[in-house]
């Protein structure tokens, strides 16, 4: 897999390349001593550029299971927004929107809960539900702009 032409994502794509060459030689180590910490971005613009940059490589993975999961997440979030707009005119759809939001939150909590516990960040979990509208909108925006837009990274604009 050639990754030289991709402006970002070399860490993940390089790991996938190594895994592809040595499928039995790449393992996950769940240890606090192996955690690599990085600083968060400073502002909303940097946050969005980071997420757009991350989503721009979504179709670059040879393992199409990754691409399918990313597409599922994108279209689920897009569907929630479309359903919310439609429910304004069709009030009987509010029940479906509520049920699908509860399902989304439950599924994500199955993943997020153990991760938050491992990283000693369970105190942040109460903000998870109120943060859902923001999360849904930024997933849609970053996913779209990652495929069809541009982002700023290391002082340059990347298309």
**143 burial type by CB count under 10 A (0-12 exposed, 13-18 middle, 19+ buried):** buried
Cα 144 versus chain centre, distance: 12
Q: Is residue 42 part of a domain?
A: yes
| pLDDT score at 4 | 52
pLDDT in tens, the chain (159 residues): 555 556 555 677 777 788 888 988 888 888 999 888 888 889 998 899 888 888 888 777 777 888 899 999 999 999 999 999 999 999 999 999 999 999 999 999 999 999 999 999 999 999 999 999 999 999 999 999 988 887 776 666 777
Whether 117 is in a domain gets the answer: yes
Question: Total domain count for the chain?
Answer: 1
Residues spanned by the domain of 53: 10-158
Residue 96 lies in a domain: yes
> Is residue 3 in a domain?
no
């Amino acid at each position: 897999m050639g990754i030289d032409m991709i402006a970002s994502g070399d860490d993940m794509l390089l790991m996938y390349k190594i895994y592809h060459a040595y499928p039995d030689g790449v393992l996950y180590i769940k240890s606090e001593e192996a955690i690599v910490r990085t600083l968060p971005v400073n502002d909303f613009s940097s946050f969005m550029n980071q997420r757009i940059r991350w989503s721009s490589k979504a179709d670059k993975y040879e393992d199409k299971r990754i691409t399918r999961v990313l597409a599922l997440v994108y279209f689920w979030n897009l569907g929630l927004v479309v359903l919310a707009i439609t429910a304004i005119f069709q009030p009987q759809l509010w029940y479906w929107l509520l049920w699908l939001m509860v399902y989304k939150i439950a599924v994500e909590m199955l993943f997020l809960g153990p991760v938050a516990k491992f990283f000693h960040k369970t105190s942040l979990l109460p903000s998870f539900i109120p943060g859902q509208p923001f999360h849904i909108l930024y997933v849609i925006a970053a996913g779209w702009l990652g495929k069809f837009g541009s982002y700023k990274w290391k002082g340059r604009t990347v298309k």
